[in-house]
């Protein structure tokens, strides 16, 4: 195979079979012969398996070559840029996809008021299977979700013995936030990066959300909400319970473990496709109904 020739479709690992994301900081991502490698500021050289990684997250002090980005894109491995201590999710590189079937299904559902509301209701039913959604407006469902989110935060605070005063932070001045809010921001940023890698690799449209409308990645926020309560949020509270001064390192480690324990990467592709099952020209025979997560 010629250098960086696009691998055949059947040789690329699907999203559900890829590893959890790789986080890198203080170093350089470049190409060595026909492989991507990481050269750390300490001189450590490590090969990066972009063909099987769900995403590569670049933290502070990193640089990346054009050739490395090209190689990652050809393997459908998204690259993400994250801020200091994982507190900001800045941007991601869009990966190519092999067809536009999911993008067409996504756009058609979003363009239909009926189907847009149906997808939003399916998202709520996925998170709260015992809550009736028929006859309830999306605005009312958002209010119900907000109440349940506050309840989950309070329950996690009690479970881990972490003082919880509410979700409160200033994006322009992270130092004003308390430790648990900073940990939540770090975990959530990693969570968004991982969910975005699945969304993009499957060909969905990050900008077309069903519950979320504002921001640059509404559908990523929609998809992320399906799993935050079992991955990012518990990881943040556990990290602060273990080390109140954690700089984000423990949060990311615990988040990665939660992703593996809950099998989120394996579940997410089928869950996202199931949101559109039976709508418009969605390939219904290939879809799988959403199921609440079985306890690991």
The tens digit of pLDDT for each residue in 187-246 reads 998 898 889 888 887 889 999 999 998 888 899 999 999 999 999 999 999 999 999 999
Q: How confident is the model at residue 22 (pLDDT cuts 50, 70, 90)?
A: confident
For residue 259, the model assigns a pLDDT of 92
| Cβ pair 177, 218 in contact under 8 A | no
Q: What is the mean pLDDT of residues 276-283?
A: 73
The pTM is what?
0.71
The reply to whether 68 falls in a domain is yes
Residue at a domain's end among 64, 92, 120:
92
1 lies in some domain: no
Q: Is residue 286 pLDDT above 50, yes or no?
A: no
Residue 69's domain comprises 9-92
Query: Tens of pLDDT along 185-197?
Result: 889 988 988 898 8
157 inside domain: yes
**pLDDT(13) > 70:** no
> Is 291 a domain residue?
no
Q: Give, in degrees to the nearest 5, the angle at Cα 177 between 245 and 183.
A: 50
Q: What is the pLDDT of residue 265?
A: 86
In terms of domains, do 182 and 117 share one? yes
- Verify that 133 and 273 share a domain, yes or no: yes
Residue 175: pLDDT over 80:
no
């Amino acid at each position: 195979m010629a250098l960086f020739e696009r691998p055949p479709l059947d040789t690329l690992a699907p999203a559900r079979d890829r590893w959890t994301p790789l986080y890198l900081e203080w170093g350089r991502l470049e190409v060595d012969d026909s492989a991507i490698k990481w050269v750390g500021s300490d001189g450590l050289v490590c090969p990066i398996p972009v063909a099987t990684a769900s995403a590569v997250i670049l933290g502070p002090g990193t640089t990346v070559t054009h050739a490395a980005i090209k190689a990652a894109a050809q393997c459908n491995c998204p690259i993400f840029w994250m801020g200091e201590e994982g507190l900001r999710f800045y941007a991601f590189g869009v990966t190519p996809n092999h067809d536009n079937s999911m993008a067409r299904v996504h756009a058609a559902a979003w363009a239909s008021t009926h189907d847009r509301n149906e997808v939003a209701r399916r998202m709520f039913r996925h998170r709260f299977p015992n809550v009736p959604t028929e006859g309830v407006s999306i605005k009312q469902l958002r209010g119900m979700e907000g109440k349940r989110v506050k309840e989950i935060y309070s329950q996690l605070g009690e479970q881990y013995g972490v003082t919880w005063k509410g979700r409160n932070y200033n994006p322009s001045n992270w130092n004003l936030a308390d430790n648990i809010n900073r940990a939540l921001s770090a975990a959530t940023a990693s969570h968004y990066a991982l969910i975005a890698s699945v969304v993009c690799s499957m060909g969905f449209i990050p900008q077309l959300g069903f519950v979320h409308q504002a921001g640059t990645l509404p559908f990523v926020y929609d998809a992320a909400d399906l799993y935050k309560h079992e991955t990012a949020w518990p990881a943040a509270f556990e990290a602060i319970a273990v080390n109140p001064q954690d700089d984000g390192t423990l949060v990311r480690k615990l988040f990665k473990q939660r992703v593996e324990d809950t099998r989120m990467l394996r579940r997410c592709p089928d869950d996202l496709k199931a949101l559109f099952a039976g709508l418009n020209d969605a390939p219904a025979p290939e879809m799988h109904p959403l199921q609440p997560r079985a306890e690991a």
